[in-house]
Amino acid sequence: MVILDYICVLIVIKLFLKNELRLFLQDLVYFAGNYLNQEVPTLATILVVEDERPVCDLVRAYLEKNLFEVEIAFDGYEALKKSAETNFDLIILDIMLPKADGWTVCREIRKSSSVPIIMVTAKAEEFDRVLGLELGADDYITKPFSPRELVARVKAVLRRTQKAGQEKHEVLNYPHLTIDRTANRVEVAGQEAQLTPKEFELLWFLASHPERAFTREQLLEVVWGYSYFGDARTVDTHVRRLRDKLRPAGISYIKTIWGRGYKFEIKEN
Ligand code: CA
C-alpha cells in the first residue's frame, strides 16, 4: 500500500507540473455547475468550418467546455450561408474544404464582415501568410493541433479584436453609474470613483453582461487572464471593495448568487 501511495503522489505531482491539475479542477467546477443544472453563460459564439467530423467533434467539445457556443459548417457553401445568417464572434476556417476552399470563404466573408477568422492549415509551409493577411485572416493554426492550443488562440484573437472593437463604444450608462473605458473613469452618483485596474476590469465585464451570473472561476479567467493561477477569493475581495466604492449610488449593482458567483443587476436599495 505504501508503494501505491507513493505512485499516487508521483502522479499528482506530475499532473500538477504539467498544469493538468488546474485544468482538471476547472473542468470539475464546470461539470459540477452543469450537474447542479445552473445556467452556464457562453462567452462567444464560434463557427467551426471543417469537413472532418472527428476534428469537428473534438474542437466542438473543447470549445464548449471553455464556455463557447459552437456552430459547425461542413463545407464552404454552408460556411458562407451560416456566416451570412448569424453574427458569429469568431470563425475557425479550414483551408481544404469541399465546394469552396477556405481562401474563397475568407474572401467572401470579408466583403461584408470583419468577424475574426482563424485559418486552419494542414502544413505550416502551405499557409501563405501574405495571402492570409491580404484576405483578412487574423491568425492561423497548423494541423494537427492540440485542442488546448486552439482554445488559447481563440481567446487571444477574441481579446485582441474585442479590445479593438470596444474602442468605438466604450461607455456604459446605468442609473447613477457611468463606466467610461476610453477615459478609464467611473462616476458614481456624479462623483468620480477611484478604482484599481482589476476592479475596473471586473466592473466593466460584469456591467457589460447584465443579468448574467458568472462563477468566480470564470471571472478569474476573464479578468485576471488565462494563465493566472489564482484563488477564487481574490474575486470576493475585489467585489467587496467595488461594492464599497459604488455605495454612494444607493444601488446594489453586484449581486451574489449563492453557490455560484456574481451577477450585475440594477436593483434600487
Ligand atoms: Ca479539410
Find the 95 Cα to ligand 1 centroid distance in Å.
6
| 92 CA distance to ligand 1 middle (Å) | 12
Q: What is the dihedral of CA 262, 39, 63, 227, to 10 degrees?
A: 20
Name 151's Cβ contacts closer than 8 Å, sequence gap at least 6.
Answer: 62, 63, 66
Q: Left (φ > 0), alpha (ψ -120 to 50) or beta: where does 242 sit?
A: alpha
Q: How far is the CA of 154 from the centre of ligand 1 (A)?
A: 19
**What is the grid cell recorded at 221?**
479567467
Helix axes 2-17, 20-35, angle to 10 degrees: 90
Q: Give the model's confidence band at 238: pLDDT under 50 very low, under 70 low, under 90 confident, else very high.
A: very high
> Can you give the pLDDT at residue 37?
44
Which stretches of 122-184 are assigned E, i.e. beta strand? 139-142, 171-174, 177-180
The whole-number pLDDT of residue 10 equals 67
Q: How far is the CA of 55 from the centre of ligand 1 (A)?
A: 9
Cell numbers linked to 53: 467530423
Could you give the CA distance from residue 250 to residue 179 in angstroms, rounded to a whole number?
Answer: 16
Between the CA of 120 and the centroid of ligand 1 the distance, in Å, is 9
Residue 95: which of 51, 161, 61, 158 has the closest Cα?
51
Ligand 1 centroid vs 234 CA: distance in angstroms? 43
Distance CA(101)–CA(218), nearest Å, equals 36
Q: Which amino acid is at 232?
A: A
Tally of helices (H runs) and strands (E runs) in the chain: 10, 12
Ligand 1 centre to CA of 96 (Å) is 4
Record the pTM.
Answer: 0.52
- Tell me the CA–centroid distance for residue 54 and ligand 1, in Å: 11
Residues 6 or more apart in contact with residue 239 via CB below 8 angstroms: 202, 254, 256, 262
Can you tell me the distance from the alpha carbon of 191 to that of 163, in angstroms, rounded to the nearest whole number? 26
DSSP 3-state assignment of 264?
strand
Task: Convert the pLDDT of each residue in 51-93 to its tens digit.
Answer: 999 999 999 999 988 889 999 999 999 999 999 999 999 999 9
Report the candidate in 209, 206, 59, 244 with the shortest Cα–Cα distance to residue 147.
59
pLDDT per position as a tens digit, 86-141: 999 999 999 999 999 998 899 889 888 889 999 998 866 666 666 776 777 888 88
For residue 251, report the distance from its CA to the centre of ligand 1, in Å: 53
